[in-house]
Amino acid sequence: MNLNKNYENLEQSYLFSTIAQKVNQFIAANPDKKIIRLGIGDVTKPLCKAVVEAMHKAVDEMSVQETFRGYGPEQGYDFLRVAIQNYYKKRNVELELNEIFISDGAKSDLGNILDLFDKDNTVLVPDPVYPVYVDTNIMNGRKVVFANANKENSFLPLPDKNIKADIIYICSPNNPTGAVYNKSQLKEWVDYANSNNAVILFDSAYECFISDSDLPRSIYEIEGAKTCAIEFCSLSKTAGFTGTRCGYTVVPQALGKLNKMWLRRQTTKFNGVPYIVQRGAEAVFTEEGMKEISVNLTYYKENAKIISETMKECGIWFVGGEHSPYIWLKCPNNMTSWEFFDYLLENAQIVGTPGAGFGKNGEGYFRLTSFGSRENTIEAMERFKKLFV
C-alpha cells in the first residue's frame, strides 16, 4: 500500500493539540500554579434545562419497545429540520427541508464537504484562519491561496478580482479574529463567487454572538447567495454542544447537483446524529430553549466585555469581542505570538492561542476567548493588568 503523501505537508500536530501538550508540560513542572484557560474556544456553561429535559425524555423513549428507534434518517429527523427551517424563517430566509442536513458539528462537515469537489480546484482562505479549512485541503492535495486579513483591512479581506478561486472559505463572525462582515461586504463575496462560478463555504458557527440586527447571521440574508453558498452551523457555541455534538449544513437546491451529491455522500458515509441528541437540539429552538441559551450567551458576552475593557486599559490594540467570543489582540512589546504565549503562561498562568497558529498574518497577534467562567476571566484580567498597565 501507498500512504497519502499529502499528510507530510501538514504541521506535525493540530494547533490545539500542540497547545495542550505545552500546557501539560508546564503543569507537570509547576503543579502548584493555577492555570486559567482562555485558549481553545470550548464552552463551560452546562446544557440548558430545556435541552436536558428533552434528552431525558428521549432516553426514556429509547428504553421502551414501542418508542425505541434504531437507525434514523442520515440527513436528520424532520422534527429538527423543521425547527431549523423556522429559525431561518425568522430572519426571512426560506429554506426547503431537503436543503437542511443535520450533522455532528461544523468541523466535520467543513472537512467532509470536500468529497464533492475535484482535486484541481483552487481554494481561497483568509489568513489568519481556522486551521481546519487549510489542513483538510492539504490532506486532499489541493492548491490553497490566501486572502490577506490584517490590521489595515480590520481583518476582513474583500475579493481580489485578479485571483481566480473556485472554493472560498468565509467565517463570520470570524474565528480567530472575531471580526464580522456587514451585508455589503458579504455581497461583494457573493457577487465574486457567482461571477466566477465559485462556491463559498460559509462557516456561521458564531452567528448567535451577533447582537446588531443589521449584521448578517446567515449568508442567505444576502441576495444571490443561494446560487453560490453552502452554510455550516453548529450548536456547539450557540447552546453548549461542544461535547454533545450537533450542527447543520445547508446545501441549497439552487446549487444544482451539489444538494443531491451531498445527500448521496451522507447516506453512504454517515449514519446520522443520535436521536437523543437531535431531540436535545430541537429543544434549543423552542421559546424556552432560546430564552435559556441567551442567558449563557449574555454571560459569555459579558466576559468578552471584561477582556476588551482590559485591553483598552492596557492600551493594547484588538478587534472582536463585540459580536464574537474571541478577542484578537496585538502582542505587547512586539513579541511574537509564541513568545507571548510562553510569557503569559510563565508570568500569569493564562493560556491563550498564538495567532501564528492560524496563519502567517497571525504572527504578532494572540487570541483570548470569553468562554471561561466569570471568576476565572476576572482573575485572568487582573493578572494581565499587573503585567501590562
Binding site for ligand MLT (CB under 6 A): 40-42, 107, 130, 175, 236
| Min dist. Cβ of residue 105 to ligand MLT (A) | 8
| Min dist. Cβ of residue 205 to ligand MLT (A) | 6
Phi, psi for residue 78 in degrees, rounded to 5: -60, -35
Residue 199, CA atoms < 13 Å, CB-side half-sphere: 21
Amino acid letter, residue 79: F
| Min dist. Cβ of residue 177 to ligand MLT (A) | 11
Task: Report d(CA 382, CA 345) in Å as an integer.
Answer: 14
DSSP at 6: G
Q: Which is nearer to ligand MLT, 17 or 195 (CB)?
A: 17
Residues 6+ apart with CB under 8 A from 104: 245, 246, 247, 273
Q: Which is nearer to ligand MLT, 87 or 130 (CB)?
A: 130
Q: Which residue is nearest to ligand MLT (CB)?
A: 41
Task: Report d(CA 135, CA 248) in Å as an integer.
Answer: 21
User: Coil, strand, or helix at residue 23?
Assistant: helix
Q: Which is nearer to ligand MLT, 42 or 288 (CB)?
A: 42
Q: Which is nearer to ligand MLT, 42 or 191 (CB)?
A: 42
Q: Which is nearer to ligand MLT, 51 or 351 (CB)?
A: 351
Cα 113 to Cα 117, 126, 211: the distances in Å are: 8, 18, 29
Cα 225 to Cα 24, 159, 183, 190: the distances in Å are: 44, 15, 11, 6
Quick one: which of 233, 232, 224 has its CA closest to 198?
224
Q: Which is nearer to ligand MLT, 130 or 181 (CB)?
A: 130
| Min dist. Cβ of residue 344 to ligand MLT (A) | 16
| Min dist. Cβ of residue 206 to ligand MLT (A) | 9
Q: Which is nearer to ligand MLT, 40 or 314 (CB)?
A: 40
User: Coil, strand, or helix at residue 324?
Assistant: coil
| Min dist. Cβ of residue 42 to ligand MLT (A) | 6
Among left, alpha and beta (phi > 0; psi -120 to 50; other), residue 297 is alpha
Count of beta carbons in the 10 Å neighbourhood of residue 141: 13
Q: Which is nearer to ligand MLT, 175 or 296 (CB)?
A: 175
Q: Which is nearer to ligand MLT, 85 or 377 (CB)?
A: 377
| Min dist. Cβ of residue 40 to ligand MLT (A) | 4
| Min dist. Cβ of residue 234 to ligand MLT (A) | 7
Task: Report d(CA 283, CA 151) in Å as an integer.
Answer: 40
Q: Which alpha helices (H) appear in the chain, and where do they start and end?
A: 15-29, 49-62, 78-89, 106-112, 131-139, 183-196, 235-239, 257-269, 275-284, 287-314, 337-348, 374-388
User: Coil, strand, or helix at residue 176?
Assistant: coil
| Min dist. Cβ of residue 45 to ligand MLT (A) | 15
